[in-house]
Structure formats: C-alpha cells, structure tokens
Chains A and B, each alone.
Chain A
Amino acid sequence: MIINHPLLGPRDAAEFVYLGDAALLHRPNKDDENAAQAFLEYQYLRDNPAGVHRELWYHEQGDRSWLVVTRNTLTHEITDVQLAKDVARAEGRSR
C-alpha cells in the first residue's frame, strides 16, 4: 500500500505504524458522569467495518506525524489522507 502523505507525498505503508480506528481521537472526558462506560467503549469496543474505515497511522520512519487515512478494508484502496492535527483542529480542538 502507498499512503499519500499530505506533506511528503506518496510513501510506502511499511514506513508507518498502525494504531486503529480514528475514533480514538475522541478521548472521553474523565469528569463525565458515565465516564467509566465511555472509557470502556473508547478503549475496547470497535465498529470494525467491512468497507470504508477512517484510521490512525503514525509515520514512524518519516516525519513522525499522525495521519487520518480513509481506506477500504475490503480492497485496501486509500481514498483520503489528512494530518490528524488538521482533523482535530477542524473539529475545534486546540491540537
């Protein structure tokens, strides 16, 4: 697989480390009333779709940036790559 890095251009997926579903960007608030249940779901439960999947890849052997890659789990086709930083900022977060 080739991941088209927004800053560095097309890079071999072997340069990256995979973390998992991009929903991991949305860490629950520990002060919420149902925080225990929210953390259980955040840490251990997954949608695990067959088809389009947004996921976190870390460019360990490159510029060490985190990316949000949109990839089809049935075909391995990658349709979109963004810096995780940009995704988080677009959601109104500071970083």
Chain B
Amino acid sequence: MRYSAFQILKEGITGNKGWKPAWREPEPKAEYDILIVGGGGHGLATAHYLAKEHGITNVAVLEKGWLGSGNIGRNTTIIRSNYLLPGNEPFYELSLKLWEGLEQDFNYNAMVSQRGILNLAHSDAQRDAYTRRGNAMRMAGADAQLLDADGVRNMVPFLNFDNARFPIKAGLWQPRGGTVRHDAVAWGYARGADSRGVDIIQNCEVTGFQMQNGQCVGVHSSKGSIKAKKVAVCVAGSSSRVMEQAGLRLPIESHVLQAFVSEGLKPTIPGVVTFGAGHFYVSQSDKGGLVFGGDLDGYNSYAQRGNLPVVEDVCEGGVALMPMIGRARLLRMWGGVMDMSMDGSPFIDKTSIPGLYFNGGWCYGGFKATPASGWCYAHLLATDNPHPTATELRLDRFMTGRMIDEKGVGAQPNLH
C-alpha cells in the first residue's frame, strides 16, 4: 500500500479498516542470495537499496531482537556532513543528499528536518580550523558558512558569549544539517525492503558462520541454518562479538555513549548547536524535549548504560554554553554501545574470508551515515567493488598506513 494524503482520506471515511502491517513476518527460507546480519538502520537500508537499486530481492535480514531495538532507536538523531578528510567528506555528503530525498524514496514520513547545525568556535585557532573544514566541505559539494560572533548572536542570542575562558568567536553553520525521526528511518527502510520481497526475520540470533573450504556459505541461527551466497555483517556495537565467530579480530573497541532528554519546553533552540570547548551538542525535539549528549564514558562496555561522572560533565558543558537550560529537569538518559574504531572512521569492506562482508566501526556517527552506508554496502555486495565514495573505508587501512583520523589522536578509541 502506498501512503498518501488520498489514502488517509480514503481510510478515514471507511473506518480505517484497510491499513496493513508495514512488513510481513516470514519464516526463513533455506537459502538466499544475500544474508544481512543485523536489522538496524544500516542493515535495513542495505536491504532496501539492494532491492530497489540493484534488483536483488532474494535477501533476508536477520535481527536478534526487534527492528529498531539497537542504536537506530537510541541515538540523538542528528544528520550533517561537516567532515574534513577526503576519505570521509564525499561519503557523508552523499548521505545528506540521500536524506534529502529519503521520504519520497521509501514513501514514509521520517520527519527529516533540515534545521541546520552550528559548531561554535572559542579561539582564533579553532576559527581557523573551522574555516579549513568549511572549505573542505564546500569542495566536496556540501554547504558551509562561517559566521562571526555577531552572526552567531543573531541566530542563537541565548548563548553565553562572553565567558572569560571560552568566549564565542565564530560558528561553522551548515544549513542543510538537521534532525530526523530515528525510529521511522528503520520502519521506512524495513517497509521499503519488505515490499520488494526482502524477508525481515526478527528474533533470530546468528550463532555462527557456515564455512566450506575457507569460504563463508551461510550462518547458523536460532531459527536453524541458512545458506547464502554472500553474508553481510552489519551489527555495529556488537561487531567484535559477531566477527569473533568467524575467527576475525577487528580494529574496534566497544564503548558506551550516553544520551539525555530534558522535560518538554516551549520552542527555544532553533537547530543543532555544538559546544566547541567542552563536548556538548543539543537539539530540541518536536515534542519539546532538549536532546543532548557529550563524551563517551571512556572505557570498554557492552552494558548500554553509563556512569554518573559523564552525566555531570555533559550537564556542566550544557550549562556553561547556555545557562538558561540550568533549570530544565532531566527526563531520561540512556546509553548505547558504540563500535569505536582505531582511527574514528568506519568500515565498509570485504573481509579476508570470501563470501563474508563487513560494515561497522561507526563510532558515534552511525545515524547520519545510515542512507549512504546502506547505499555503499549494497553497491559492494551487488558488484563486489566499493562505491566511489567509500573506497577508503577499508579494513586493511591500518596495515597500509591510510588511516582516516579526523581528530588526529591516533589509535586511542575512547578519544575519537
């Protein structure tokens, strides 16, 4: 069923009896062309683009829990393409372009809202760095604008501009950045893939890989063994645990990142604002809650919850930047498990095992990458060649010295 204003009108006057579930709940077949392990945003996007762009529909997505139970439902919903390095920026710009056409593409309301993202600079050096970053973005076809202090003041007058230690000197403004309703992204992709024949199988945990002559020919799962010509792992957060079953060690540590929502407030924060001196980023949801976050807790964790010192640190950063939120009460906080890679950049690549593909290492930037990750992973799976924007997202880049280290902190995952 195609969703449209006409459909709402029609269902409205016929008692809303015609709506169907957005996807089927099939049992797995014995064999598929491509098996996608992990039914998060990236896995579902991969399935959608495999079916829609490459015509490959004999595909199943295996999800251990329910759709949207992982990081696609736990993030702070920001989309942007304000990266610096040539290995990253064209990829994230592709992602932003796909976000812009996403709702028409999969016929689902994902509430894509390009309300803009503003990165604040607090020193001359930081302003220079943002100038360079803005230039890199524009060279890759993205939009970027450097605002001076007055420009920032016009846009967000409620910030603490004259802080003695961290005065606000400038801002890098990307008008096309914004926020998206995160769960709807998973549901929209699931519906898009399902309607083209992809089987989405929930509550199906992969417990091992079937190997034959050193080649991956399928998986063992809690719903039995399933054969496949290609197995595509896409389980960021649990990448090490899943790939260990194939005997692979990854350049990844799992870390916990916390996120927070305040009580609902009247509209006050126009776009996404990030503090350049501490680590704090905030936007306001359509329900009115301030959605914000900051640094990783900084130690390996699969617990999906963090500890209080980081809560304190994030809230201090927020109040230092915008003192007016000091009286807003915290409503909820939670943690998600991040695949922190050794250079802070992701992987979309074949592995050393024929038939086994890997997508992961998204650090805390996976949500904004969802469409491009699916687009490029589908391209790799369909053609066996990397997509032109993802040629550097390789697993062997630490061996060849081609790291993509945006922050320049080296192999220290909790600092990226």
Q: Which residues of A contact B (CB under 8 A)?
A: 1, 12-14, 18-21, 40-41, 43-50, 53, 55, 71, 73-76
Contact = CB atoms under 8 A, between A and B. Distances in A.
A40 B249 contact: no
Contacts of A21: 253, 300
With most chain A CB atoms within 10 A of its CB, the pick from B238, B302, B399 is: B302
A17 to B, nearest CB: 8
Contacts of B240: 46-50
Contact of B249 (A19, A45, A71): A45
Interface string B235-251: 00010110000000111
A71 B238 CA distance: 18
Nearest to A74: B302
Contacts of B411: 43-44
Q: Main SS of the interface on chain A?
A: mixed
A50 B249 contact: no
Interface residues of B, number: 24
A50 B251 contact: no
Interface of B: 238, 240-241, 249-254, 298-303, 307, 309, 342, 398-399, 411-414
A14 B307 CA distance: 10
A45 B361 CA distance: 12
Contacts of B301: 73, 76
A76 B307 contact: yes
A71 B301 CA distance: 10
A49 B300 CA distance: 9
Contacts of B398: 40, 43-44
Contacts of A45: 249-251
Nearest to A76: B303
A5 to B, nearest CB: 16
With most chain B CB atoms within 10 A of its CB, the pick from A1, A12, A46 is: A46
With most chain B CB atoms within 10 A of its CB, the pick from A14, A48, A76 is: A48
Contact of A46 (B251, B307, B309): B251
